[in-house]
Amino acid sequence: MIIRKAELTDAQSIAEVNVGTWKSAYKGILDDEYLDNLSCEQREQAIKNIINSSDDKRFIFVAEDSASGVIGFASCGKARESNGSFKGELYSVYIVKTFQNIGIGKLLCNCAIEKLKENNLFPMIIWVLEKNAHACKFYELIGGRRIGERHIHIGYGEYKELAYGFM
């Protein structure tokens, strides 16, 4: 297993992991129609834009298995909104279902935390859908403290997100 900085050639694989994990992790949480309409092509272009960006405060890391290729990723950077003392944000961590619960998520998070610290973007925050109990438990297990909540719109629905802070 290798954890490394994402390259432009990883964009399609990252998009496939992203869309695939959304469709499995959020089944029964988000509207089926919304999930059915997620597009790897649209997500791939967004990922390429981030990787190609001159913004030096956004980072994507991949977990790569020698047999399966990219099986997970984490993205992080400057906090997207003012959150008190939280300078950085873990935007996302997604792992292919068959590779979950074996420590890859923690490795990706540790890599993201180190990069944020190197760039003076720590402490960090992450927002998680409240109904995604698996993710909430994961962030608590790796040291996140629940520090807030908000409501967001995804598709036609409104959902509660919980904030976890890492100090």
Please enumerate in sequence order all residues whose Cβ is within 8 A of that of 25, keeping only pairs 6 or more positions apart, or say none: 94, 132, 134, 135
Any idea what the Cα angle at residue 81 is, between residues 57 and 90, rounded to 5°? 55
Q: Please write down the HEC assignment for all residues of 119-139.
A: CCCCCEEEEEECCCHHHHHHH
pLDDT of residue 84: 77
2-166: CATH topology: Aminopeptidase (3.40.630)
C-alpha 16, offset from chain centre: 14
pLDDT at position 88, please?
Answer: 97
Nearest to 71 by CA among 83, 82, 63, 79: 63
What is the pLDDT, as a whole number, of residue 83? Answer: 67
Domain layout of the chain by residue ranges = 2-166
With a threshold of 0.85, does the pTM exceed it? Answer: yes
* Mean per-residue pLDDT, 85-99: 96
pLDDT per residue as tens digits for the range 100-114:
999 999 999 999 999
Q: Write out pLDDT tens, residues 11-46.
A: 999 999 999 999 999 999 999 999 999 999 999 999
pLDDT tens readout for residues 118-153: 999 999 999 999 999 999 999 999 999 999 999 999
pLDDT in tens, 50-89: 999 877 789 999 999 999 999 999 999 999 987 679 999 9
